[in-house]
Structure 1
Amino acid sequence: MSLDASLKSGGGLSRHRNVLTRAERIAKLAENGEFDTEQDNPLGIRKVGNRKLVTGKSSKKKKEAE
């Protein structure tokens, strides 16, 4: 009997996730200076966008320019 693709372990968490854990949100806000780990309450923090940046294909333009 085969194993369903959604149940296989491995690189499942290596893909991009839009939803961050609380610890990841705190780290991202602290990095931007919007959260003070000493004074601010970690409960009820605001949502943080986690966008995956996709760059355009510019390799042809670079090759033609050279």
Structure 2
Amino acid sequence: MTIDKSLKVKRGGISTRSVLTRVERLEKMRADGKFDPESDSPIGIPKTRVVKISMKKKKKTKEEG
């Protein structure tokens, strides 16, 4: 049985994730100083948003001549 063209995932399912996994969140919180593995529990930690980086296009300068 084949999959209809409209249901296929384009680009292999690569997309920007909106949240991190638990391990990634713990690493980010440790780097920010918000999580101490000795005293804090990894259960019930807050979700951490992924910062999307977009490249701005450079404006072309007008050449005088």
Q: Same fold (TM over 0.5)?
A: yes
Residue 5 (1) aligns with residue 5 (2): no
For the aligned residue pairs, the C-alpha RMSD in angstroms reads 2.7
Runs of at least 4 residues off by over 3 Å: 1-4
Total equivalences in the alignment? 60
- For structure 2, the 5+ residue unaligned runs are none
Q: CA deviation at 1:21?
A: 1.2
Q: CA deviation at 1:16?
A: 1.6
In percent, how many aligned pairs have the same letter? Answer: 42
Query: Normalised by the size of structure 2, how large is the TM-score?
Result: 0.64
Query: Normalised by the size of structure 1, how large is the TM-score?
Result: 0.64
Tell me how far apart the structure 1 counterparts of residues 49 and 19 of structure 2 sit (CA, whole Å): 8
Give 1:56's aligned residue. 56
Larger radius of gyration: 2
